[in-house]
A = this chain, B = another copy of it.
Amino acid sequence: MEPAHHVVIIGGGFGGLYAANRLKRAGARVTLVDRRNFHLFQPLLYQVATGGLSPANIASPLRALVRRQRHANVVMGEVVDFDLEHRRLILREELETPLHYDSLIVATGSEFNYFGHDKWKAVAPGLKSLEDAIMIRRRVLSAFERAEVEFDSKRQSAQMTFVVVGGGPTGVELSGAIAELSRYTLRHEFRNINPADARIMLFEAGPTVLSMFPEDLRKKAQEQLEHMGVMVRTGIRVTDIRADGVTIQVGDQEENIPSDTVLWTAGVKASSLGTALAKAAGQEVDRAGRVTVEPDCTLPGHPEIFVIGDLANYSHQGGKPLPALAPVAMQQGRYVADTIMGRLRGDSPSKPFHYHDKGTLATIGRSAAVADIGWIKLSGFMAWLTWLFVHIMYLVQFQNRILVLIHWSFNYFTRGRAARLITTPPESPPHEP
User: Does the CB pair A131–B406 fall under 8 Å?
Assistant: no
Q: How far is the CA of A34 from the CA of B313 in the complex (A)?
A: 51
Contact status of A141 and B75, CB under 8 A, knowing A67-B188, A243-B433, A426-B425: no
Q: Which one, B60, B406, B416, B424, contacts A402 given CB within 8 A? A: B406
Chain A 258-272 residues near chain B, CB threshold 8 A: 260
Q: What distance in Å separates the Cβ of A113 from its nearest Cβ neighbour in chain B?
A: 17
Cβ of A192 within 8 Å of any chain B Cβ, yes or no, is: yes
User: Does the CB pair A416–B399 fall under 8 Å?
Assistant: yes
Cβ of A234 within 8 Å of any chain B Cβ, yes or no, is: no
Residues of B close to A57: CB separation below 8 A: 54
Looking at chain A's contact residues, the main secondary structure is: loop
User: Does the CB pair B421–A141 fall under 8 Å?
Assistant: no
Cβ of A418 within 8 Å of any chain B Cβ, yes or no, is: yes
Q: How far is the CA of A243 from the CA of B432 in the complex (A)?
A: 8
Chain A 392-423 residues near chain B, CB threshold 8 A: 397, 399-400, 402-403, 406-407, 410, 414, 416, 418-423
Residues of B close to A134: CB separation below 8 A: 423
Contact status of A423 and B191, CB under 8 A, knowing A77-B149, A135-B430, A186-B63: no
Q: How many residues of A contact B (CB 8 A)?
A: 74
Contact status of A192 and B96, CB under 8 A, knowing A131-B424, A424-B131: yes
Copies in the assembly, this chain: 2
Q: Which one, B77, B130, B192, contacts A423 given CB within 8 A? A: B130
Contact status of A149 and B430, CB under 8 A, knowing A189-B64, A403-B406: no
Contact status of A131 and B421, CB under 8 A, knowing A122-B431, A190-B63: no
**Chain A 87-110, CB within 8 Å of chain B: the 1/0 string?**
000000111110000000000000
Cβ of A380 within 8 Å of any chain B Cβ, yes or no, is: no
Cβ of A145 within 8 Å of any chain B Cβ, yes or no, is: yes
Cβ of A42 within 8 Å of any chain B Cβ, yes or no, is: no
Chain A 142-168 residues near chain B, CB threshold 8 A: 142, 145-146, 148-151
Cβ of A428 within 8 Å of any chain B Cβ, yes or no, is: yes
Cβ of A247 within 8 Å of any chain B Cβ, yes or no, is: no
Residues of B close to A149: CB separation below 8 A: 75-77, 93-96
Cβ of A59 within 8 Å of any chain B Cβ, yes or no, is: yes
Nearest residue, chain B, Cβ from A124: B430
Q: What distance in Å separates the Cβ of A328 from its nearest Cβ neighbour in chain B?
A: 26
Residues of B close to A423: CB separation below 8 A: 55, 130-131, 134
Cβ of A38 within 8 Å of any chain B Cβ, yes or no, is: yes
Cβ of A37 within 8 Å of any chain B Cβ, yes or no, is: yes
Q: Which one, B56, B125, B430, contacts A123 given CB within 8 A? A: B430
Q: How far is the CA of A151 from the CA of B400 in the complex (A)?
A: 35
User: Does the CB pair B54–A56 fall under 8 Å?
Assistant: yes
Please give 19 more A-B residue pairs, beta carbons under 8 A apart, in addition to A37-B420, A54-B54, A397-B418.
A37-B145, A56-B419, A56-B421, A60-B418, A64-B189, A64-B418, A74-B189, A75-B149, A76-B145, A76-B422, A95-B151, A96-B149, A123-B430, A131-B423, A142-B432, A260-B433, A400-B418, A406-B406, A425-B425
Q: List 10 A-B contacts (CB under 8 A).
A: A54-B55, A55-B423, A56-B418, A63-B190, A64-B418, A75-B149, A94-B151, A125-B430, A399-B418, A406-B406
